[in-house]
A and B are shown apart, each in its own frame.
Chain A
Amino acid sequence: MRLLHLTVVIAAVGVIAARPAAPLNESSVADRTTWDSVFTPEQAARGQTAYAATCARCHQESLSGADESPALAGGTFLSKWSGLTLGDLHDRVRVTMPPSDPGTYGRQHISDVLAYVLSVNGFPAGRAELPVAGAALQVIRIEAARR
Chain B
Amino acid sequence: MSGATPRGFVLARSAAAIATVCAALVSVPTDSSAQRAAASAPRVLTTATGEWPSYTGDTRGSRYSPLDQITAANFGTLEVAWRFKTDQLGPRPEFKLEGTPLMVGGVLYATGGTRRAVVALDAATGELLWMHSENEGERGAAAPRPLSGRGLSYWTDGKEARILYVTPGYRLIALDARTGEIVKGFGTGGRVDLKLEIDHTILPDLTTGEIGFQGAPVVARDVVIIGAAFREGGSPRSARNNKGYIRGYDVRTGKRLWIFHTIPQRGEPGYDTWGDGSADVAGNTGVWTQITVDEELGLVYLPVESPTGDYYGGHRPGNNLYGESLVCVDLRTGKRKWHYQIVRHPIWDFDLSAAPILADIVVGGRAVKSVALPTKQGILYMFDRVTGEPVWPMTEMPVEKGEVPGEWYAPTQPIPSRPAAYSRNGVMLDDLIAFTPALKDAGALFASRFKLGPLFTPPIVSTTGGLIGTLTQGPTNGGTNWPGGSYDPETHIFYTSASNYSPSLLSLVPPAAGASDMRYVRGTAPPAPGTPRLTGFGVQGLPLFKPPYGTITAIHLDRGEILWQVPHGETPDAVRNHEALRGLDIPRTGQPGSVGTLVTKSLIVAGDPELTTTSSRARSAMLRAYDKATGAEVGAVPLAAPQSGSPMTYSVNGRQYIVVAISGGAYSGEYVAFRLPVAGAR
Query: Which residues of A does B touch, CB under 8 Å?
Result: 2-3, 5-6, 8-10, 12-26, 57-58, 60-69, 71, 73-76, 78-84, 88-89, 91-92, 95-96, 99-103, 120-122, 144-146
B110 shortest CB reach to chain A, Å? 12
B57 within 8 A of A: no
Complex CA distance for A61 and B524, rounded to whole angstroms: 8
B95 touches A79 (CB 8 A): no
Complex CA distance for A18 and B77, rounded to whole angstroms: 10
Complex CA distance for A24 and B638, rounded to whole angstroms: 13
B88 touches A12 (CB 8 A): yes
Partner pick for A74 among B92, B234, B538, CB 8 A cutoff = B538
Partner pick for B574 among A16, A17, A25, A82, CB 8 A cutoff = A82
B535 touches A73 (CB 8 A): yes
B residues less than 8 Å from A96 (CB atoms):
92-95
B residues less than 8 Å from A79 (CB atoms):
572-574, 591, 610-612
Complex CA distance for A146 and B535, rounded to whole angstroms: 20
B536 touches A64 (CB 8 A): yes
Stretch at the interface among B46-54, B179-187, B338-346, B659-667: B659-667
Bits for B459-486, please: 1 = Cβ < 8 Å to A, else 0: 0000000000000000011000100000
A residues less than 8 Å from B639 (CB atoms):
21
- Chain B contacts with A in 551-587, Cβ cutoff 8 A: 572-575, 577-579
Partner pick for A66 among B18, B85, B234, B619, CB 8 A cutoff = B234
Q: Known contacts being A9-B89, A9-B128, is A80 close to B665, with CB within 8 Å? A: yes
Query: Which residues of B does A touch, CB under 8 Å?
Result: 14, 17-18, 21-22, 25-26, 79-85, 87-89, 92-95, 121, 125-128, 131, 141-142, 145-147, 232, 234-235, 349, 476-477, 481, 503, 505, 523-524, 533-538, 541-543, 572-575, 577-579, 591-593, 610-613, 618-620, 638-640, 642, 664-667, 672, 677
6 A-B contacts (beta carbon < 8 Å): A3-B21, A14-B82, A62-B536, A75-B543, A75-B574, A95-B93
B residues less than 8 Å from A24 (CB atoms):
640, 665-667
Partner pick for B125 among A15, A89, A100, CB 8 A cutoff = A15
The 9 closest A-B pairs by CB, nearest first: A73-B536, A21-B640, A88-B666, A23-B619, A120-B535, A74-B536, A75-B574, A21-B638, A144-B574
- Judged by DSSP, the binding face of A is loop
A residues less than 8 Å from B131 (CB atoms):
6, 9
B residues less than 8 Å from A71 (CB atoms):
536
A residues less than 8 Å from B145 (CB atoms):
68
Complex CA distance for A14 and B273, rounded to whole angstroms: 55
A residues less than 8 Å from B80 (CB atoms):
16-19, 21
Whose C-beta in chain A lies nearest to the C-beta of B577? A145
Whose C-beta in chain A lies nearest to the C-beta of B17? A2
Complex CA distance for A36 and B302, rounded to whole angstroms: 52
A131 shortest CB reach to chain B, Å? 18
B83 touches A14 (CB 8 A): yes
B190 shortest CB reach to chain A, Å? 19
User: Which residue of B89, B127, B572, B575 has the most chain A CB atoms within 10 A of its CB atom?
Assistant: B572
A82 touches B82 (CB 8 A): no
A113 shortest CB reach to chain B, Å? 14
B244 shortest CB reach to chain A, Å? 15
Whose C-beta in chain B lies nearest to the C-beta of A117? B535
B residues less than 8 Å from A73 (CB atoms):
535-536, 538
A23 touches B618 (CB 8 A): yes
Complex CA distance for A8 and B141, rounded to whole angstroms: 24
B16 shortest CB reach to chain A, Å? 11
A62 touches B640 (CB 8 A): no
B237 shortest CB reach to chain A, Å? 11
User: Which residue of B125, B536, B611, B664 has the most chain A CB atoms within 10 A of its CB atom?
Assistant: B536
Q: Known contacts being A61-B533, A144-B573, is A10 close to B26, with CB within 8 Å? A: yes
Contacts beyond the supplied A62-B505, A88-B666, A89-B666: 13 A-B pairs with Cβ under 8 Å: A6-B18, A6-B131, A12-B88, A21-B620, A21-B672, A61-B534, A73-B538, A74-B537, A74-B543, A83-B611, A92-B666, A120-B535, A144-B573
A117 shortest CB reach to chain B, Å? 9
B611 touches A75 (CB 8 A): no
B620 touches A144 (CB 8 A): no
Q: Known contacts being A21-B638, A145-B578, is A5 close to B92, with CB within 8 Å? A: no
Complex CA distance for A92 and B618, rounded to whole angstroms: 22
A13 touches B574 (CB 8 A): no
A residues less than 8 Å from B640 (CB atoms):
21-24
A75 touches B25 (CB 8 A): no
Partner pick for B25 among A6, A58, A60, CB 8 A cutoff = A6
B residues less than 8 Å from A92 (CB atoms):
95, 665-666
Q: Known contacts being A80-B665, A89-B666, is A13 close to B619, with CB within 8 Å? A: no
A residues less than 8 Å from B537 (CB atoms):
62, 64, 74
Whose C-beta in chain A lies nearest to the C-beta of B19? A6
Complex CA distance for A96 and B114, rounded to whole angstroms: 10
B residues less than 8 Å from A8 (CB atoms):
88
Complex CA distance for A23 and B505, rounded to whole angstroms: 34
Complex CA distance for A19 and B610, rounded to whole angstroms: 21
B592 touches A13 (CB 8 A): no
B126 touches A14 (CB 8 A): yes
Complex CA distance for A92 and B81, rounded to whole angstroms: 28
A15 touches B126 (CB 8 A): yes
A residues less than 8 Å from B535 (CB atoms):
62-63, 73, 120
B residues less than 8 Å from A80 (CB atoms):
610-611, 642, 664-665
Partner pick for B541 among A65, A68, A75, CB 8 A cutoff = A75
Complex CA distance for A144 and B540, rounded to whole angstroms: 12
Complex CA distance for A138 and B232, rounded to whole angstroms: 34
Whose C-beta in chain B lies nearest to the C-beta of A64? B536
Partner pick for B232 among A5, A22, A58, A84, CB 8 A cutoff = A58
B606 shortest CB reach to chain A, Å? 16
A46 shortest CB reach to chain B, Å? 16
B117 shortest CB reach to chain A, Å? 9
Whose C-beta in chain A lies nearest to the C-beta of B672? A21
A residues less than 8 Å from B665 (CB atoms):
24, 80-81, 84, 88, 92
A12 touches B87 (CB 8 A): yes
B546 shortest CB reach to chain A, Å? 14
A13 touches B126 (CB 8 A): yes
A residues less than 8 Å from B84 (CB atoms):
12-13
